[in-house]
Chain A
């Protein structure tokens, strides 16, 4: 019962109608916890040249991005005595006295042929040296994204790792009960702005997973009172139902080359791990055990999968070659380890672990070893790495309400992402978008 077909869904028509109503569904971000060790940086408000009137404050978006990373502490604008936009206007001694490490200045000019040209420079305040200077064009609509890309470039220059500000986050929201229940799969910018509705349903939606090119999402939907796995192209809304076997169709994960999906299917009586080739529809069984096998995740090189199994009596993480074969147990600490996924460098796993009745997010070496807690816990779940490996995003509870949290793996400020109303859960951080 494998079907590849276009479903010209009324759902999608509804999406168009809902597009205007999503503005108030924005995720709000709060930073919690300390910011010790954060680098002081001054992002001067960008100058507007030749009558440019950009609809957003570029410098403010860049500063907010850098602050959210936990690695930087942008200077408050109220403390800025001068606001230079060009190198010839900068007196580095002023910024040295304010104990800044780095300085960002820039300008917005109208572009010939419409839109804007953004020019910016990054300086080392101590030496007065220019570390980077760049310009990029932007449409009016693309200004926020352009600001995120500037923040990414600054972040990469100063930390040596790619920034993830111009990425997106998929998440599931739910509100209402019984006949009024709505479950919505959304995608927003990494700072919670520009929320877009991907699917809006009265039935549960689960397990969103990004394709490696960031253009498609796989997810599980229960429409029609059965579970099925869908792959949906974000730009067009076109979607394929790729798995609707008898029993459970769940836990999709794209292979690193984007051509396959790992799945947990119970078509033969109990859940096992399968790999589905999306082009041909060919299905390969990877595990075959009478216990529960689910939550597959690919190693970044595509050679292995990790998955959750209770074959030893309690749920633990196992590893298996992507083509099948014997499974090796990875986790031994604690009596509940599940929903593991790899860091981008393949060296670490992040997972849910039970610690004295609390469900917490923990990291462990991909080859096994002790767990290191990343969250205080309670009911924390659905962890996943940011595409640069610097942070882990997960679902948690705040005052009994479902929210998201993102925490740097090496300590620092945690961000909390929540909606004004309803629950937010199952975050999935997009890959780097080029």
Chain B
């Protein structure tokens, strides 16, 4: 298992680290200076006093938010009535496994969903089965179980509320929520 993890994970870790170096976090947009009318508004007693918030720190770079990183994709779609992970998602899930394995403190919730066909509580169980399938894949890739949670929403949170075959295929999914 360890051996296999090293083989599959190490090149990816390197790639992700490089990707990290290559991208600079975006500058926070400049704050507009207060205009005279704004200042006037602030001094008016009838106005509610503005809430003071802490200054916004620039977000540290995360490959999870970088469209050029494989980790940007976080959804696995399933065929009807099955919890088998389609082969095309193997690379994607290996990338997430590597990230979870390598990143201290990283944790993911695997959210299972179904389409609307069939009964709600049975679908809740099917959604859990899909989330569990992804979890088992990740464990086989060496991710510690403690870094993953599962949650099924069944058919309660469709990505597409429509009733067509296209909508249904959008809804049969597991989302990796960090």
Contacts and interface: CB of A to CB of B under 8 A. Distances in A.
Contacts of B120: 206-207, 339, 381-382, 426
Instruction: Report the 9 A-B pairs with minimum CB-CB distance, sorted nearest first.
Output: A204-B156, A339-B119, A292-B125, A251-B121, A338-B119, A271-B125, A295-B121, A294-B121, A338-B122
Interface in A275-325: 292, 294-295, 308, 315
Contacts of B147: none
A100 to B, nearest CB: 44
A177 interface: yes
Given A226-B151, A379-B163, A266 B119 contact: no
Given A270-B129, A339-B119, 13 more contacts: A204-B153, A207-B120, A222-B153, A222-B156, A250-B124, A308-B121, A315-B122, A336-B118, A339-B120, A354-B118, A359-B117, A379-B163, A400-B163
Contact of B118 (A177, A247, A352, A400): A352
Contacts of B129: 270, 292
B126 interface: yes
A264 B119 CA distance: 14
30 contacts: A204-B153, A204-B157, A206-B120, A206-B121, A206-B124, A206-B156, A222-B153, A226-B151, A247-B128, A247-B150, A250-B121, A264-B125, A266-B128, A270-B128, A270-B132, A271-B128, A292-B126, A294-B122, A294-B125, A308-B119, A308-B122, A338-B118, A339-B120, A339-B121, A359-B117, A379-B116, A379-B163, A382-B120, A397-B163, A400-B162
Interface in B78-104: none
A295 B119 contact: yes
Interface in A372-392: 379, 381-382
Of residues B119, B129, B157, which shows the largest number of chain A Cβ atoms within 10 Å of its Cβ?
B119
Given A204-B157, A271-B128, A292-B126, A248 B152 contact: yes
B152 A382 contact: no
Name A's interface SS.
Answer: strand
A397 B129 CA distance: 27
A268 to B, nearest CB: 13
Interface string A70-99: 000000000000000000000000000000
B125 A382 contact: no
A427 to B, nearest CB: 12
A225 interface: yes
A339 B122 contact: yes
Interface string B108-145: 01000000111111101110110010000000000000
B163 A248 contact: no
Interface of B: 109, 116-122, 124-126, 128-129, 132, 150-154, 156-157, 161-163
B125 A266 contact: yes
Interface string A213-249: 0000000001001110000000000000000000110
Nearest to B120: A206
A207 B118 contact: no
B163 A294 contact: no
A295 B122 contact: yes
A247 B110 CA distance: 12
- Interface size range of chain A in the complex: 20 to 34
A288 B176 CA distance: 29
Contacts of A382: 119-120
Contacts of B161: 177
A381 B116 CA distance: 10
Contacts of B122: 292, 294-295, 308, 315, 338-339
Contacts of A226: 151
Contacts of A266: 125, 128
A12 B124 CA distance: 27
Nearest to B124: A250
A248 B124 contact: yes
Contacts of A177: 161
Tell me which of A247, A248, A400 has the highest count of chain B C-beta atoms within 10 A of its own C-beta. A248
Contacts of B152: 227, 248
A292 B128 CA distance: 10
B142 to A, nearest CB: 21
Contacts of B119: 295, 308, 338-339, 352, 381-382
Contacts of B156: 204, 206, 222
A294 B125 CA distance: 8
Contacts of A379: 116-117, 163
B81 to A, nearest CB: 9
A206 B127 CA distance: 15
A393 to B, nearest CB: 15
A248 B153 contact: no
A161 B111 CA distance: 47
Given A338-B122, A339-B122, A248 B117 contact: no
Contacts of A250: 121, 124-125
A367 B152 CA distance: 33
A264 B121 contact: yes
A294 B124 contact: yes
A359 B120 CA distance: 12
A270 B162 CA distance: 30
Contacts of A354: 118
Nearest to B126: A292
A158 to B, nearest CB: 36
